Structure 1
Amino acid sequence: MPTYWGDKRFTSGPWYFGAGIFFLFVLGLVIVKDRFKWWILATTILALLLSFGRNFTLVSDLFFDYFPMYNKFRAVESILVLVSITVPMMAIMAVNELLIRAKEIPNLDKKVLYTFIGVGGFCLLIAIMPDLFLNFRNAGHSNLIEMLEHNIGDKAFATELANQLVLDRKDIASKDAYRSFFIILLTFGFVWVFLKKKLSEGILLGALLVLFLFDLWSIDKRFLNDKSFMGKGTTAQQVFQQREVDQLILMDKDLSYRVLDLTSDPFSDARPSYFHKSLGGYHAAKLMRFQEILENQFNGALNEDVLDMFNVRYLITTDPQNQSQRIVRRSTAAGNAWFVDKVNFVKGNAEEMQAISSFDPRKEAFVNQQYQNEIKAKTSSASTTGQIKLTSYHPDKMQYEYTAANDAFAVFSEVFYDKGWKAYVDGKETPIIRADYILRALQLPAGNHKVEFIFDPESHKMGNLLTLISSFILVAGIGAAIYLTFKRNQKETAV
């Protein structure tokens, strides 16, 4: 039963930063003197308002319409990652003030007490009267009753069941509010005892560490716990059950081919990819060129020529008469790589897309004229004798061997992506050409040679370097802080 009652279409859990951490965040707004706190507060409020999306269009529409790249977010609530940084940051600044400037802050006891009364009192109010601020039923409540009535067959019982669900939601909110109040009370207690000189700095920090770890860990365990993990064999048996059609296809030991499963939406179902190199699958952000192929070549009917160039050897279909699943073996699949007899140059993307609507990918290739200078004229219209085959496959590295009597133009049944992929012929880098709108192609010299495709983006190298430098700076900073603290303690002891 849906214990969540908000307007989100789906949710996987709350963004929880910790009740005690939130108490220290509010306390930081009161006692931190640094002007930096206002930047933290402004960032927190802005990110919170943006996370509301269509529920607060005054801010979100402004960013969607006028701020570059903001409309690329798939889920607006992902902006809350900023809040998950700013709230603990302010909490840390508050603890730092307590440790460093406690004697300098006027009326500190009252500020801590009033903050506890405000934050803790609010939690206690929700715990006692959860429906004072919260509405535990949404616009779909009547639809829920109709669904229950359809399944149960008794409208009165369905209505009563939905109403009991509302009471359960109230009870859940009340219990969590009591829990938050208890965490805030303990946090306040540790801070208060420290201010009364009954706790040392080390014990205060240790107590807060243990308390916050318990708080966050226990909430996290609600959503990711021991029941969330299964053994590999269990997963395969329970989730990815092998069908008879899968077993028959896997008898083909040449695992270089691809499979398209049409028994469900092939481009929203990732299950077939567990067993096969599937043309389908699911990703929230597809490459634009692949999406355009789907919209233009697979919209309404499957383009057999495009299936050939994607090396689709098997289709899994459903028999309309008895709903049984069956296999269609396609003998025209072009393979992993092949030489073409002719290269046709086209002027733009639209012409290239139109060209692959009907063609034989094993005999000709369509290439945008932007690559014309990288293709030798004698290979653009001459037939090629020879063969090319895949010898090693890994998602980040593919190796081929070929024999060609003359210079040749080879097409590879892999998606063209120039932001990281590099090609090498006998170790020498060779420019990758885009062919047939979305595939990779190479201009190859005559003879016997080896070809490698390696995914090695510069951004990944730079990221690793920056991570290494940052880690070094972090370790050096921690070491320096420990050394300076040690020296300071030595001086204080000497005095």
Structure 2
Amino acid sequence: MRNIDFSKIFKNNWIHILAVGLFLITTYIYFQPQFKGHRLDQHDIEQFRGMSNEVVHYRDVEGGEPLWTNSMFGGMPTYQISTLYEGNLLKKVTRFLSFGMSSPAGIFILYLLGFYIMLLCMRVNPRVAIFGALIFAFSSYFIIILQAGHNSKAAAIGLMGPVIGAFYMAYRYNLRWGILLSALFMGMQLTSNHFQITYYLGIILVGFGIAEFVRAFKHSQWKRFLTATIGILVAYFFALGINYGNISLTADYAKHTIRGGNDITINPDGTPNEGESTSGLDKDYITQWSYGVGESMTLLSPNIKGGSSSAIQNSQFAEKLRDPDMRRNANLIAKNNIYWGAQPFVSGPVYLGIIVFFLALLGMVYLKGPLKWTLAGVTILALMLSWGKNFMGLTDFFLDYLPGYNKFRAVTIILSVVELTIPLLGVLFLNKLFKKREEIKNNIKPLFYTSGGLLGILVLLSFTGLGDGYLSPEEKDMAYSPKEYIESRKADIRKQIKEDPRILQQNGISINDKAQIEKLVDQNVPTVAQIDQQFDALVDFRKSIFQTSMWRSILFLILGIGLILIYVYTTIMKEIILIGLALVTLGDLISVDLNYLNNKKQKNKRDYIHWIEDADFDYPLVPTQADKQILEAEVSQDPELKKKVENARVKSDGRKTRVNPRALWSKKFQTLNMNTNYRVYEQRAGFSSSRPSYFHKALNGYHGAKLRRIQNVKDFHIDRGNMEVFNMLNVKYFISQGRAQKNPGALGNGWFVKTLNVQSNPNKELLALGSLFTINNLENTFQLHINDEKVEKDTITGFENIHLIKNTDTLFSGVSQITRSNLNAVFVKDVNGEMSWIPSKELQKDTLNSFTKIVEIKQVYEFNPKEEAIISEEVAEKVSSLQYSGNGQIDFVSYLPNEMKCRLSTNEKQFLVLSEVYYPSGWKAYLDEKEVEIHRVNYLLRGLEVPAGDHELVMKFEVPKFHTSNNMALIGSIILFLLIAGAFVKDFLMKKQKNEE
């Protein structure tokens, strides 16, 4: 320690110490509530808590990783929910770079340090690098995703910069450190576990690689290029090795998810789905969130599409409704959406700052070499790919031919690339400006042309708009064709009345009173005059928002141009100009960011809008009355269970004297969950919420990579309310309207069936879980069309697009209201010419033959999971029989997420069906300690043949690869740390030797 000269260290590194200090102060100021006992109220984190609660409890009680959870979708692996790879020590490095802080402050620090490290690796002046880090971190999208709780995505974005910087370093000036840091930073980036961002990072690196190839070609530096390339590839291979467990298990899992292929070739209505599918996600799903072409202007001006999706009265522009020229029509438009872009809804714009964009344009003018063309090319490519369905030519090409691209949803996420490349280009220009002021002064015309051109475009657009009429695509249909909209709306209401006659009863209208029905329909649709008045007011309001946003950008741009010109034409110190640019640019960015994440209080002046207390963050959900009903129902049947639940206690943290009620409820439900095995389905939550999963084993869930089979079952059966599917999945309770309703038909955890129903392909397997009907056209004067094909007779599920047509009139559309009730029915015409559906039983009473039969529907098959199991031809070849008695005793002994035990007793061979999701990559069955094969039955579940006698059945989720890869990660991490330490030592000794000489 005596030989260490701290003053010299400080002297050589004071700027970096200043940078880190400034970053910490900035983080503290912006995220101040986090340092005062609060956490950000993040939607996705709340969902994460729901989906991972069972896993966390298992770790606390059993130790280790379960790798499987039954809390969502009936069961799924935990690889992309919550799996800890303790051997991967790179997480600790990321934690160190975050100064041990949790999200959002810790990730924001990653933004800052990551971009700063990249710029230092690219030999940018540290002062300019500080500026670059700040403008990068405050890009609006990066703040918005923190507010939403997209933590893994945000961390992955924060670590993109260091990977790029190390890549650049290896090729340009320090091969050894470039390679070592590439291994370290790529390993950390992969550890953040957002492979979509890693994929986009790969696109950037390919672009950088092309630039280095061109440079090597130009200067004949092939040896350096090849050495760096091989070294980088080895470094990335090493990083992959450390993360092999997560990558490999995720790749195995992806094959079985909606991001893999689909064995079903039809849609729920029976039409083929080939044109909508890829070997990954469906194209419609991938491009559901596609940036509009005109919407790309939000990069330059934040509110030119309104900002975030919300009613005007709840938006940042609500006060504008009180303006004298807006007040008259305020009530007409207050509930309209402030956002009028092309996406379903958004949390805010992707805005990177008009000054940042201006600096990047100057970079394209003044920088030399292939790197600027790489950055421009990657930027343009990423922008066009973000357009998704609005530019399907390019999107289709990438989905069909670029490996892996079709595994990722929400193409707008690729704009994170644009928010990195444009600031980088701008910072590289600024770095050159401060180094070569005279050179740029002597070539000033391009700066004037660029400034004038950009200003001119913005001014012009402020008057002309973007050609969207200040309306969303859906609103245009309504505003430009009001009569067609009104007729379409009327048709929808008539259809609702036809499918649910209770609407008429609630309004006191007879089903035969056509005049009153039409009056009711007219009352529920606007007139053309009302539509015109509303949209005129809405367009005026939005136009004012658009123009305000544009002139805001123009003002900031003028300030930015002024500062650059002052520096060029005066001798003012660059530090002053840099501070000025930072203040103006950050003022621009932060004023936008504060609309989406701020420290404002609610109206009660006590609670924050965006922040919650630590205790509420740890236990974000409270049980509803329905959840408590279920708990009470379960413990009332089992005194031993009741005792366990009542004795559930929360571990003291050594600080709190009062037990958090939320924590106590959580513990009670965790105890209930570990000692029972039933499922819950909350109808309102569907497949878009993990709230039920926090308290129960649920059929609900929230995940972007759910198993393909459960998704298909949802689309074909769960969404249609198929009770037999709910029964086979052991959905014991339904939650609806805040109350729990017990399902008496739930089949329990397992049962013996009598019949195996063999189906020849997956389509038929899936359809066999429902009912089948024959439909027969009995009148030649009518045409029956099913999915646009004319038929006389066919077998249907009832959810096809079915129309009965005479001449040009459609007499009915769809028969789902008939088939949902599993009725045999006939479409008839009475003596007055009125047409309607009548149950066949009722028609038999028509002894006077007063009805003419037109179309007849008869049920020919109904799935009965208690008696039969649906199997494939492949499974049929492996079982000894298709018929069984179905007699026997099943007693479940224990049930953990990754292991279940039961005792079986039967006098003859039987076939056992378990209400557990089939997953071939891990689940093993042991009958009396001997492994037996698990068969897939009922398209989704597990089943196996059981010989006569008394047996113990144990099912375990065993993944040897997890333990092997964990050891690999530990060894790889230690080797990497030793290599880096060795490089430090070598540099130190070389420097010491040089000083002694």
Give TM-score scaled by structure 1 length: 0.67
- Alpha-carbon spacing, 1:335–1:157, altered in 2? closer, same or farther (3 Å): closer
Structure 2 counterpart of 1:438? 940
Alpha-carbon separation, structure 1, partners of 2:466 and 2:914: 64
What is the one-letter code of the residue matched to 2:748?
G
How is 1:64-103 mapped onto 2 (pairs within 5 angstroms)?
74-99=409-434
Q: Given the alignment of the two structures, is residue 279 of structure 1 paired with residue 279 of structure 2, yes or no?
A: no
Does the 8 Å contact 2:917/2:941 carry over to 1?
yes
Does the 8 Å contact 1:367/1:434 carry over to 2?
yes
Structure 2 counterpart of 1:320? none
Structure 1 counterpart of 2:733? 314
RMSD of equivalent CA atoms: 5.6
Alpha-carbon separation, structure 2, partners of 1:444 and 1:198: 87
Shift in Å at residue 294 of structure 1?
3.6
Residue 329 of structure 1: which of 742, 756, 770 is its match? 742
Deviation by residue 1:66-91 (Cα, 9 ceiling, x = unmatched): 66666666544344333233322322
Consecutive unaligned residues of structure 1, counting only runs of 5 or more, are: 318-323
Does the 8 Å contact 1:18/1:216 carry over to 2?
yes
Does the 8 Å contact 2:923/2:955 carry over to 1?
no
Shift in Å at residue 30 of structure 1?
0.6
Q: Given the alignment of the two structures, is residue 51 of structure 1 paired with residue 386 of structure 2, yes or no?
A: yes
Shift in Å at residue 417 of structure 1?
3.7
- Alpha-carbon spacing, 1:435–1:97, altered in 2? closer, same or farther (3 Å): farther
What is the one-letter code of the residue matched to 2:939?
Y
Structure 2 counterpart of 1:321? none
Alpha-carbon separation, structure 1, partners of 2:524 and 2:613: 35
Structure 2 counterpart of 1:16? 351
- Alpha-carbon spacing, 1:151–1:403, altered in 2? closer, same or farther (3 Å): closer
Alpha-carbon separation, structure 1, partners of 2:721 and 2:387: 40
Alpha-carbon separation, structure 1, partners of 2:902 and 2:623: 39
Shift in Å at residue 219 of structure 1?
1.6
Shift in Å at residue 25 of structure 1?
1.4
Q: Given the alignment of the two structures, is residue 32 of structure 1 paired with residue 367 of structure 2, yes or no?
A: yes
- Alpha-carbon spacing, 1:361–1:167, altered in 2? closer, same or farther (3 Å): closer
Does the 8 Å contact 2:363/2:426 carry over to 1?
yes
Structure 2 counterpart of 1:117? 452
Residue 136 of structure 1: which of 470, 493, 496 is its match? 470
Does the 8 Å contact 2:733/2:741 carry over to 1?
yes
Q: Given the alignment of the two structures, is residue 260 of structure 1 paired with residue 678 of structure 2, yes or no?
A: no
- Alpha-carbon spacing, 1:435–1:27, altered in 2? closer, same or farther (3 Å): same
What is the one-letter code of the residue matched to 1:257?
Y
Q: Given the alignment of the two structures, is residue 198 of structure 1 paired with residue 583 of structure 2, yes or no?
A: no
- Alpha-carbon spacing, 1:218–1:456, altered in 2? closer, same or farther (3 Å): farther
Deviation by residue 1:264-296 (Cα, 9 ceiling, x = unmatched): 594567776676544245666654322332455
- Alpha-carbon spacing, 1:205–1:270, altered in 2? closer, same or farther (3 Å): same
Alpha-carbon separation, structure 1, partners of 2:349 and 2:905: 64
Q: Given the alignment of the two structures, is residue 248 of structure 1 paired with residue 248 of structure 2, yes or no?
A: no
Alpha-carbon separation, structure 2, partners of 1:461 and 1:20: 47
Structure 1 counterpart of 2:708? 288
Residue 221 of structure 1: which of 590, 594, 602 is its match? 594
Using the TM superposition, name which of 36-45 and 26-35 deviates more.
36-45
Q: Given the alignment of the two structures, is residue 388 of structure 1 paired with residue 388 of structure 2, yes or no?
A: no
How is 1:326-405 mapped onto 2 (pairs within 5 angstroms)?
328-336=741-749, 348-350=761-763, 352-353=765-766, 368=872, 387-392=891-896, 397-403=897-903
Shift in Å at residue 28 of structure 1?
1.2
Alpha-carbon separation, structure 1, partners of 2:537 and 2:392: 34
What is the one-letter code of the residue matched to 1:387?
D
Using the TM superposition, name which of 117-126 and 169-178 deviates more.
117-126
Residue 415 of structure 1: which of 914, 917, 928 is its match? 917
Alpha-carbon separation, structure 2, partners of 1:152 and 1:339: 54
Alpha-carbon separation, structure 1, partners of 2:357 and 2:694: 43
Shift in Å at residue 348 of structure 1?
4.6
- Alpha-carbon spacing, 1:336–1:233, altered in 2? closer, same or farther (3 Å): farther
What is the one-letter code of the residue matched to 2:891?
Q
| Partner SS for 1:252 | helix
Shift in Å at residue 23 of structure 1?
1.1
What is the one-letter code of the residue matched to 2:632?
M
- Alpha-carbon spacing, 1:330–1:120, altered in 2? closer, same or farther (3 Å): same
Alpha-carbon separation, structure 1, partners of 2:689 and 2:438: 62
Does the 8 Å contact 2:386/2:414 carry over to 1?
yes
Deviation by residue 1:123-177 (Cα, 9 ceiling, x = unmatched): 35555x3648774346736846979x98999987875664343333233223322
What is the one-letter code of the residue matched to 1:199?
M
Using the TM superposition, name which of 225-234 and 110-119 deviates more.
225-234
Using the TM superposition, name which of 403-412 and 167-176 deviates more.
403-412
Structure 1 counterpart of 2:557? 184
- Alpha-carbon spacing, 1:332–1:10, altered in 2? closer, same or farther (3 Å): closer
Shift in Å at residue 313 of structure 1?
1.1
| Partner SS for 1:44 | helix
Deviation by residue 1:381-429 (Cα, 9 ceiling, x = unmatched): 797755334443xxxx43333345799986543333456x555879999
Does the 8 Å contact 1:310/1:414 carry over to 2?
yes
Alpha-carbon separation, structure 2, partners of 1:95 and 1:26: 11
Does the 8 Å contact 1:432/1:442 carry over to 2?
yes
| Partner SS for 1:222 | coil
- Alpha-carbon spacing, 1:325–1:20, altered in 2? closer, same or farther (3 Å): closer
Shift in Å at residue 20 of structure 1?
1.9
What is the one-letter code of the residue matched to 1:388?
F
Does the 8 Å contact 1:422/1:430 carry over to 2?
no
- Alpha-carbon spacing, 1:157–1:82, altered in 2? closer, same or farther (3 Å): same
Does the 8 Å contact 1:337/1:389 carry over to 2?
no
Residue 539 of structure 2: which of 166, 185, 195 is its match? 166
Using the TM superposition, name which of 341-350 and 23-32 deviates more.
341-350
What is the one-letter code of the residue matched to 1:84?
E
Consecutive unaligned residues of structure 2, counting only runs of 5 or more, are: 1-335, 486-521, 600-608, 635-671, 771-861
Alpha-carbon separation, structure 1, partners of 2:729 and 2:893: 15
| Partner SS for 1:14 | coil
Shift in Å at residue 119 of structure 1?
2.7
Does the 8 Å contact 2:356/2:422 carry over to 1?
yes
Using the TM superposition, name which of 3-12 and 268-277 deviates more.
268-277
Shift in Å at residue 311 of structure 1?
0.8
- Alpha-carbon spacing, 1:367–1:165, altered in 2? closer, same or farther (3 Å): closer
Does the 8 Å contact 2:751/2:890 carry over to 1?
no
Does the 8 Å contact 2:434/2:574 carry over to 1?
no
Alpha-carbon separation, structure 1, partners of 2:913 and 2:441: 75
